[in-house]
Amino acid sequence: MAPTLYLSPQAEDRQSAAPGTDLQNEKGSSFPAKRNRLYVIIQKELRLITMQRNILCAFVITVCCCQCAPSPTDAGDRTADLMIPERFEASVEPIQPIAAEQDLPAAIVALGRKLYHDTQLSGTQKLSCATCHPVDGPGMVPAIIAPLRNSRGSRSPSRYNVPTIFNVGEHFAYFWNGRAQSLEKVIQISIQAENIMDGTWRIILERLASDPGYSNEVANAYPDTGLTEENVVNALATYLRSLTTPNAAFDRWLNGENLSENAKEGYRLFKSYGCIRCHQGAGVGGNMYASFRSYLESREPQRNTDYGRYNVTKDEAHRYQLKVPSLRNVAVTAPYFHDGSAISLSDAVEAMAQHQLGRSLTRTENNQIVSFLESLTGWRENALLSESP
Ligand code: HEC
Ligand code: HEC
């Protein structure tokens, strides 16, 4: 504020006592009397502006405080309405970027990578983990794999969609029905299950011990304990933890870069319509169970695998509950759902909106949400993940 325009209270008094006489400002310089009225008007204007500015400041401070406090779910909507700068918005988002750096023992990761691609781990010596979860593609094959035989030895008619292997390190449970609580457990099941690798530990360890290709790697990774079942599982699990896909366009936006308007609008809808309730965190899912009852009950015939977590706990309340899948890289992992029943991403989004949220999306909204989901495709080995190996 320009100091020469400031009139002290005394000056005001004098002005009202003797209109038309010269006034002095605080610095002692005098104003011509005929311009007094103008200065008083300017002064009032300035007071008003100061007051407005204070109110504005108080408002901004209140808004900022509110932004720090609320639950992540509704914070996003409000930030969008108030047009808070994007960088600020990013810090309160319910989705976090995937860490670009990892701190895993390199020698163990290297051994794990070799085991992951080794067909000696399977009964027929024809399958490796990479056969169904290729890491030079989307981390899965678009095939529906028959589940385990049940205890009577018969196969159930249901089928499981192969999930992607990328970013599985942080999931809270594994398999569509959550029957494994750790990666180590998944690996044990995958190696031994009849319809997956159908392997036997004794035979696998014999094969690996007589394979000279492993001696260096094993010595580097486990110098004291050598080749044991536990170490093979540990090496595979460590390798799986290394399979992250950072740098997605959405993550770069969270870190302050630009994102297409369509994807941003899709993300706004994803939050305001409530998809975020189940799909959040760094994995955009993979951290809770949820029921898919409305969709699954609407189909005939029902399959054993549709019962989800009920098959694990036998608790009626868990019937139709499935692990909420991570939506990282979802644009390149078609088909969708535990049984692959949604062929395109747009179909999956529509089914979710209708059955999980009771909403029908317009074509534009569906496209915008798909754009947002496409922005979750990450990078691996300096390349954007692709649909095929
Ligand atoms: C024949 C194909 C096939 C092979 C080989 C295979 N998997 Fe899988 N994998 C699947 C299927 C199908 C599922 C989902 C099964 C379910 O949910 O019940 C799955 C699920 C997983 C999951 C859980 C992912 C999640 O999001 O819950 C992990 C981790 C995994 N496999 C790792 C491995 C590893 C490690 C190997 C090698 C030891 C392996 N798989 C071999 C087909 C295969
Ligand atoms: C009440 C929890 C819940 C809400 C809300 C929800 N989802 Fe899902 N979502 C799930 C579950 C559970 C599955 C797995 C269903 C299955 O496998 O049959 C899933 C699967 C998906 C898939 C398929 C992923 C894959 O790899 O197969 C997509 C895509 C998806 N959801 C997007 C959305 C979108 C978009 C919204 C909002 C319109 C939404 N979800 C709202 C729980 C939810």
Residue 344 pLDDT more than 90? yes
> How is domain 106-242 classified at the architecture level of CATH?
Orthogonal Bundle (1.10)
Residue 31 pLDDT more than 50? no
Residue 46 pLDDT more than 80? no
Interval 325-353 mean pLDDT:
97
Instruction: Tell me which residue has its CA closest to atom 37 in ligand 1.
Output: 129
* pLDDT at residue 145, rounded to an integer: 77
Interval 155-167 mean pLDDT:
83
> How is domain 72-99+246-288+324-384 classified at the architecture level of CATH?
Orthogonal Bundle (1.10)
* pLDDT at residue 388, rounded to an integer: 81
**96 CA to middle of ligand 2, Å?**
18
Instruction: Tell me which residue has its CA closest to atom 25 in ligand 2.
Output: 336
Is ligand 1 within 6 A of the CB of residue 133? yes
Q: Choose the residue to mutate in 118, 126, 165 for probing ligand 1, maximizing ligand atoms within 8 Å of C-beta.
A: 165
* pLDDT at residue 71, rounded to an integer: 40
CB 253 within 8 A of CB 259: yes
* SS3 sequence of the chain: CCHHHCCCHHHHHHHHHCCCCCEECCCCCEECHHHHHHHHHHHHHHHHHHHHHHHHHHHHHHHHHHHHCCCHHHHHHHHHHHCCCHHHHHCCCCCCCCCCCCCCCHHHHHHHHHHHCCHHHCCCCCCCHHHHCCCCCCCCCCCEECCCECCCCCECCCCEECCCCCCHHHCCCECCCCCECCHHHHHHHHHHCCCCCCCCHHHHHHHHHCCHHHHHHHHHHCCCCCCCHHHHHHHHHHHHHHCCCCCCHHHHHHCCCCCCHHHHHHHHHHHHCCHHHCCCCCCCCCCCEEECHHHHHCCCCCCHHHHECHHHHCCHHHCCEEECCCCCCHHHCCCECCCCCECCHHHHHHHHHHHHHCCCCCHHHHHHHHHHHHCCCCEECCEECCCCC
pTM exceeds 0.75 for this model: yes
Which amino acid makes up residue 149?
Answer: R
Nearest ligand to the C-alpha of residue 180? Answer: 1
**146 CA to middle of ligand 2, Å?**
22
Is ligand 1 within 6 A of the CB of residue 186? yes
**91 CA to middle of ligand 1, Å?**
34
* pLDDT at residue 349, rounded to an integer: 98
**149 CA to middle of ligand 1, Å?**
16
Give the lowest-confidence range in 62-76, 191-205, 308-322, 324-338.
62-76
* pLDDT at residue 257, rounded to an integer: 97
Is ligand 2 within 6 A of the CB of residue 340? no
Residue 314 pLDDT more than 90? yes
CB 180 within 8 A of CB 193: no
